[in-house]
Each structure stands twice: as C-alpha cells, then as structure tokens.
Structure 1
C-alpha cells in the first residue's frame, strides 16, 4: 500500500474485497468534530506525523459522534448514510428504508396490497383545526426563458411570471361560495395579495357574529345513546 495513503486506495481495496465496505470520515480541526465523507476510518490533514494526510482506525463510532446531538447516550450509527439513531431498534427500522449515500445505493420500495393497505384515510383527528372557510386559488403564468447564475453551480433557465388568477371562498358549514373572482392583467401577484387582504376583512366580519348552537331534542338523545365517536368510530370509555 503506497504511503502517504490516498483516499482512492480504499476504492481499490473494496474492489479486491467485495465482502467488506470502508467508510471514511474527515476531521474538521477548527471545530473538532467529524464530518462524514462517505465510519470506521478517519482522515486528518495536520502535519503531526510528518505527512499531510494520514488515516486513523475508529474502533467506536458512537463515541466519535457523541456530541452531534443533544442525546447524551450511546448512538447507533448507520454505515449506509452516516445518520445516528438513539436506539438499536430505531436503527434496524431505518436500515430497511435507508437510501444510502452512494450513487447506486438501493432503496426499499413497497407496493400496497389490494384489500389490505390500498386505502388511505385521515386518522389524526386530535390534530384537526377548525376551518370555517377555505380559499381556493389558481394562478396562470408566462414561462420566460433566461440563463443566469442561481447560486453555486446552479443556473436558472426559466422564470415564471404570474399573468392571471382566479379564487373563491368556500364556507364549510353552510356550503356558501363567494366567487369565483377572476383577474387578468399586470402585477397579478400583488393584486392577489391585495384582494385576499380584502377578503380576510369580510371573513372576520362574518366570524365575529355569534350564533346560538342549533341542537334539537333528537340530537341530544342521539348523543346520549351513542356508544362510539361518529368521526373516528372509537368506542367511548
């Protein structure tokens, strides 16, 4: 093996030994923290040992990444993507779906089974937020070609500029609809914001009006006799 060791030598070792995998970490001297490059070997670039690049064998990866998060117990490291997990059970669950960090790393894909899990429904009823009304809007835009720097190695090749919009206000409880309101012209984005501000004023004027709850005797009896929630179907406790 040539010295000083070049990181490319590890690719050759893996080609000659397909049953093993070597991952390399780079040590950031200014922050004294490991930076994953591709976790059992670390690379240092100081001149402590008379050469610029040298590699150290990491015997306990959990200790190396101990300060990466607020979790101050043993961390379980994924060799595929270098993410750490608080428990071995969490790591095992992650490994089933880990996309890895290499270009051709496998990623698990599961298909739904007809009649078993091919239907999705909302279940987090406790996180629902009351929405008396919703605003539904749609924009149309011109696609203007351009070629300019967009940060780093990215370049912006096209830019969309809104030329029209349409929106309506739908009231959930009553089913009433305000609109649709259509606009075509200049400064469509600014005009949309201005109109939405006006709609919010009108909506608040409606919401400020207090209404008595409409509750009949039949409603009260139905509620008293119910044995399960009419939304989630869970049995009452």
Structure 2
C-alpha cells in the first residue's frame, strides 16, 4: 500500500482494512465455518517508494518521429504531465511542441496535493479533482502496453498519454488519436481496446469485447509467432510410472458424546460422536513383484503417529532400492531391435544424423525398454515421491492423519487445499497422499463389482478361492457398536439390533447378518 501524502492516508488505510475483512469473510465462507476470534500479531513494513512519472523532455523515439498523432512538448521543468493535459484541452495548430502555447492555462487545472514530476500513482487523484480521465501507455523494446487505465468511463474529457523512459529520466507524450496511433502496428484494425490493446475491425465488436475485458486489470496480449504457435507435450519424464505405491486405509472407534438437548426453535449443530482411530492397514506394491510386501495390519495406541512412522520407514527402504540401479540385461533379439529402430520410444520423434541414439533400460529390473535420444534418456527418471493412495482421503482419512502430521518437524509438509478443511493432496517429505475417490468417484463396493475376479492380483496372494468369494463384496462392520478396544476381544457378533447404520438410518438385513456370520 502506498501512502503518498497525509490527505490520502485515511482513504488508503480504509481500503486496506476492507481487503483484510473481505479475506476473512471469504475464508469463513469457503472453509469450515471457523470464526476469527482475535488477531495475535500485525506487522507493518514501511519503505521509501519512488513511483514512475514524467519529468523533462526526452526526444521522440525514431519509430514515432514522423507520427502526426503524437505530440512531444519540449519542456525543461518537471511539469510535462500538466503541459500535455493542457495540450489536449487547448490544442495549438502552430508549433504544438512549445510550452509557451499552454502557460496561460496553467492555473485552469486543480493540482492540489500533486507533485512534480507527476507519478502514475497520482493520476487517479488528478482525475477525481478535475473530472478528466487519463490513460497511460508504456513503450519498451519496441512494444506498447497499458500502464494505467482510467476507471472514469463517462468523463467528458479523455486524455491518452505515452510514457517514455531514457536511463534515469522519464517523460509523457500526448497521443491525439489512440486508434490511429495503434493502427500502425496492426493492419486492417481501426478500433482498439484500452485495456489490452487488442484491435478490431468494427466498433460493435470492440464494445462487446470491452464488456468482458474491463473486468480485469490492464494487460498486454502477445500472440505467438509461427514458430511457437503450437503447444506440445515435452515433459516426458511425467509419463514414467511410479515404481512403488502404497495403498492404505483406517478404521476408527465411534465414541458417543454427551450432548445437551436441542432447542427446536433455533438451528444448531449437535455433535453426537467422535471418531478415534483404532487401526490401519497398508500394502507396499512394486512394479517388480519381488519388492511387493505383504499387507501390514496394526491395532493399538497412537495409530496415526505409528502409521506415519511406518510409512517413513518404508520410504527409506524404497529409496535404498532405487539407489541401487541394476545393469541392463540385453538379449540378442533386443540388440537387433535397437539397431533397426529409427524412432525414440520416449518422445516418439525420429532419429537424425545429429541425434545420439542410446539404449534405455529400467534401473529397477534391468530390462531393456527401447532406443532413445541421449537427452530423453537422461530426463526419463522415476518420480522422487512415493504415492500413498487412500479412498476418500479428502473426506475422511485426512482428518485422522492430520492430527499427527505436524509431529514430524524434520519433514517438509506441503498441501493442495480445496478449502480450509479439505485437501486435494498433501505431502510429508517424499510421501504424497492422494485420494483415489477424486478420479474414481464411487464406493469401493461398486468399484470391486465392476472388476473381473482375475483383476485382484495382490488380493489373490493372501486369500484362497473360497475366501475370495466371501470377501469380494462390502463387509458388515458394526461401526456404532465398536466403541472401544474391548469389543475386539469378543468371540461372537453382536445381535441383529446392535448393528445399526447411522448413515442409512436402519438395521442391517438378516441376509447381511448371515453373511457376517460366515465370514
């Protein structure tokens, strides 16, 4: 925030407060209903600010030297902004570049509180005091771009200025006709937008464009040339599959909470239960089966902390495996295939006389993958992170994990938030937690029903054919009944009436109860 003088101090402070209040309201509206209780600390940093502004004369660039729509007044003071506004209001047909043509009108404008040279930041103040709208366009590297676009749309007088810079000096010039001035750079365009300088052939097209463009800050649109007009995928390393992935899930006690009786005359939220994690299961799966581990099941205390500790240990083991690159195993048939290949298997482009062809292989298994460019081969590396996939992570499991994730101070924590309470993804060190529900938005019961029995490769290693028929459907779990560790020691299922679903608001069926007994 800039504080140019005492007159604007209160206005700028109020504007800053409104932005803070607006941010708080947006946070509460998009978040979890949290309320700002108090501000613990507020820091204000003050620094000298030197805004750009026009001063004394700078020669007109050669590009515009013969342009009749541009007036460059030769002044030896710092009032070039004032002289150019007066040159617009009181145009002179005889030597318009002379200051003497405008000195008699110097007091016609209200310059109270304005400084010389006049910075761009003070133009809005000038507009309010004189009811004259001003646009300022910059010129750099033979390119014109908007620097300041007025918000006074209905002003009777409108001034367009070109801002020039030469080393430490800066200077304004008057643009008599913006459309004519810009048409020199864009053929067959005669109507230009002040906000982005895009040209149009008809005025009605410009008006339609301004309705949308005026909603945004001034900008400069630069179209690509013929050599860079196509966007191509070139980050080929992101095609590489993660060699290891961890699948995980949590279970929790549903502990009832004592609550007060609700007031039927007012709306309220009543907390009826608290979810306390009681156990977890996970499995490390590798593209090379010999590194795939059996599932790990845990039930005990400090569930989420133990879960994260175990995963960090698994990550260290994975890192050690990946650091030991296996040498390539090349069969005679693969050597012939390499010699005949004329195309890189990574980028798909053909080899040329200048390109160097190399053999690409998997560092985990040693298997030959194909011929590749040497630079493609160097970039084609395994991801540095280990994906941890949890179904409905964003809606449920992340709330449990985040209770302990802050305990690991030595690990970097990053997240992609959906709002203040839900996260699309987050990372602990090189562990990247992602939600499979985000790209497979169905229940696990539906997803398993859509797959053939032969699809469950890891599942088949742990269970027999008879067990698979029982387990490849949604299980029956008495969530409400299991509210403490002692319930796990019971040798019989609870009665039918004890297995009640709060979500479905009903008991399980007799058929489901019989199925649970078989399991």
TM-score by length of 2: 0.23
Higher normalized strand content (fraction of residues): 1
Larger radius of gyration: 2
Bigger RCO of structures 1 and 2 (CA < 8 A, at least 6 apart)? 2
Higher-helix-fraction structure: 2
